[in-house]
Structure 1
Amino acid sequence: MTGTAATVAARDPMPGIAAMCAGVACLCVNDAFAKALTEGYSPLQILFLRSLIALPFAAAIAVGTGGPQALVSRRPLAHLARGGLVIAAALMFFTSFRYLGLAEATGLIFVAPIFITALSALVLREPVGWRRWLAVAAGFAGVLIVVRPGAAAFQPASVLPVLAALFYAVLMLSARWLDARESVWTMQLWLVGSSVLLSGLAVGFVWTPVPAGDLWAFGCIALFGTLGMTLITQAFRMAPAVVIAPLDYTALLWATGFGWLFWQEVPDRATAVGAAVIVASGVFIMIRERRAAG
């Protein structure tokens, strides 16, 4: 175990657990606002305004933690490509809110860690044992339970969160394109900035005037999205990943609660069972990867 890892492991994990749970809750608030705004705005416009408002916050955090040099990247084109992946994932996910319940969309996007494991083996040629391949198969079976292709209850929009998860998985793996000397805050800043640039090129085609009464909602998306990512990043610095990572799935509780409270959404049995299978598969993969690394 490295010195840094040993230091993290030796700390009291409760602050990290609290930060992770709070960060996940913030991201779910972000999603709830996004779902509400999709009733009147294009997902592209929501993404553009969220990123534009969040950009000064991301810059302030980067400079505050790493100094002015944190604004500079050695791989700007790689960041631009990653910005495209962010836009693709967010557009798929936000669009799904128009047709799916918040809990259903959230449950399906949790297939991302399963995609990451599969792509690591198939594309990056990393070793993945038979147990993790079995968990990958179980995770995709969970997706089929939720989506129910061929059944009367099948909704084509159910594919959108799955595609969003795929783009998100590629985004996570693409971090290897970046210079290892860049801090996580520099990466986050350039990700937000590239999202502003790329979405800004097309947002004029779908722009809807924003009345003053809706500006606070866009501000909340930027605030809770930035705060959520900051808290989650700090959580992984405060406690071991094996303790922190599974807490990401508490988002299902928040998504179910918000969906019921604001839209009277109640997940059906198939959605609940499929989401449980996806979560169990993801947690198992995390545990196996931790053992393999340790």
Structure 2
Amino acid sequence: MSKTVLAGVLSTVAAYFLFSLQDASVKWLVVSIPVIQILFVRSVTILAICLAIGRGQVVREAIHSPIVKPMLLRTLLLLAAWLSYYNAARTLGLAELTTLYYAAPILITILAVPILKEEVPPVRWMAVVIGFVGVLVATDMISTGLKLSWPVWLALQAAIFWAISTVLLRKTALSERTIVQMTISNFLLGLFTGMGLVFYWVPVTSGQLLLTSLTGVIAALGQFAMFEGMRRAPVSILAPFEYTSLVWAFILGFAIWGDIPDHNIVFGAALIFAAGVTIVLGERFGPRSA
């Protein structure tokens, strides 16, 4: 595995840790604050950080950037994914929701072939399958089963939208600086969610506003790590590492809420870890990545 690809993998793993930490804070906030309001403050916080760092230069680059249209499409896909996901979450249990949503890495790997023209060797397909089996085991879906319903379709739809947006990110990541991508993405997301606040805004305490802003800071670091990872490695290599967010979620659940993982969770996490090792070993001893 080249140093560039390894840096992309490590950056991606860090990104999913930060996103898991973000989700943990959102878990506290959604009890009293609408999701769209959280997303708005999150986007404004990230945008403010980008402007503070890049200043006028980043604004000029963003206005004249060739990726504005692809970023507009990606932002709409992300919004559709989040709306589908959180609506499904109202009915589905966490195990069902997680398993369905983690179909995304498989879809990302599949889409990378026709859209990005990536060559996906058997070892990467194997890693994706091992990781998905790990999710099935960890969430105990093998024994409980799942029936097709509207919430199930919404969760699958969220996975599809997320997969397409991730593939689009790889295309834009190669064409523009990370800070410019973050500026465009969060300006558009803040614009769209801001429109929804006309109907969903609720008063917040100073503590809630502080936590929501802190969530934005964490998300900013996560976005930067994810965008940088996409610049350095093909998405078919990075896709299985999305499963690590499930492991981070279990670790954070234990650290913050004292949730003790069952044996199936530990075994599933081991399979997810094995998927990552499979990728690393395959890239180290197999053909070099493009």
CA-based RMSD: 4.5
2:144 is paired with a residue whose SS is: coil
1:151 is matched with which residue: 144, 147, 151?
144
2:260 is matched with which residue: 257, 266, 271?
266
**Range with bigger deviation, 107-116 or 179-188:** 107-116
**1:178-197 alignment, distance < 5 Å:** 178=172, 181-197=175-191
Alpha-carbon distance in 2 for matches of 1:280, 1:161: 26
Residue in structure 1 matched with residue 80 of structure 2 by the alignment: 88
CA contact (8 A) 1:113 1:169 kept: yes
Shift of 1:194: 1.2
Output the amino acid matched with 1:79: M
Residue in structure 2 matched with residue 33 of structure 1 by the alignment: 25
Return closer, same or farther for 1:59/1:160 CA change in 2, 3 Å cut-off.
Answer: farther
Output the amino acid matched with 1:192: N
- Matched residues, percent identical? 31
Return closer, same or farther for 1:167/1:241 CA change in 2, 3 Å cut-off.
Answer: closer
Q: Given the alignment of the two structures, is residue 293 of structure 1 paired with residue 279 of structure 2, yes or no?
A: no
CA contact (8 A) 2:170 2:234 kept: no
Return closer, same or farther for 1:76/1:116 CA change in 2, 3 Å cut-off.
Answer: same
Q: Given the alignment of the two structures, is residue 219 of structure 1 paired with residue 208 of structure 2, yes or no?
A: no
Q: TM-score, normalization: structure 2?
A: 0.71
Alpha-carbon distance in 2 for matches of 1:162, 1:272: 25
**1:1-294 alignment, distance < 5 Å:** 25-63=17-55, 67-72=58-63, 73-92=65-84, 112-121=104-113, 126-145=118-137, 146=139, 148=141, 151=144, 163-175=157-169, 178=172, 181-231=175-225, 251-281=245-275, 284-285=278-279, 288=282, 291-293=287-289
Structure 1: segments with no counterpart, 5+ residues: none
Return closer, same or farther for 1:90/1:283 CA change in 2, 3 Å cut-off.
Answer: farther
CA contact (8 A) 1:114 1:139 kept: no
Alpha-carbon distance in 1 for matches of 2:272, 2:174: 31
Alpha-carbon distance in 1 for matches of 2:67, 2:102: 29
**Range with bigger deviation, 259-268 or 52-61:** 259-268
Alpha-carbon distance in 1 for matches of 2:125, 2:252: 33
Output the amino acid matched with 1:293: S
**How many residue pairs end up in the alignment?**
281
CA contact (8 A) 1:38 1:94 kept: no
Q: TM-score, normalization: structure 1?
A: 0.70
Alpha-carbon distance in 1 for matches of 2:117, 2:249: 35
Return closer, same or farther for 1:111/1:285 CA change in 2, 3 Å cut-off.
Answer: farther
CA contact (8 A) 1:107 1:275 kept: no
Shift of 1:144: 3.8
Describe the superposition over 1:121-173 as per-residue Cα deviations: whole angstroms up to 9, x where unpaired: 36666543444444444444444443627727999878877654433221121
CA contact (8 A) 2:78 2:162 kept: yes
Alpha-carbon distance in 2 for matches of 1:277, 1:88: 30
Alpha-carbon distance in 1 for matches of 2:148, 2:140: 7
**Range with bigger deviation, 202-211 or 266-275:** 266-275
**Range with bigger deviation, 88-97 or 103-112:** 103-112
Return closer, same or farther for 1:21/1:181 CA change in 2, 3 Å cut-off.
Answer: closer
Alpha-carbon distance in 1 for matches of 2:126, 2:248: 29
Alpha-carbon distance in 2 for matches of 1:240, 1:132: 13
1:293 is paired with a residue whose SS is: coil
Shift of 1:55: 1.5
Shift of 1:268: 3.1
Alpha-carbon distance in 2 for matches of 1:155, 1:264: 33
Shift of 1:116: 1.2
Alpha-carbon distance in 2 for matches of 1:21, 1:132: 16
Alpha-carbon distance in 2 for matches of 1:190, 1:28: 23
Return closer, same or farther for 1:236/1:125 CA change in 2, 3 Å cut-off.
Answer: closer
Alpha-carbon distance in 2 for matches of 1:284, 1:167: 27
CA contact (8 A) 2:16 2:245 kept: yes
Output the amino acid matched with 2:113: A
**Range with bigger deviation, 216-225 or 197-206:** 197-206
CA contact (8 A) 1:111 1:139 kept: no
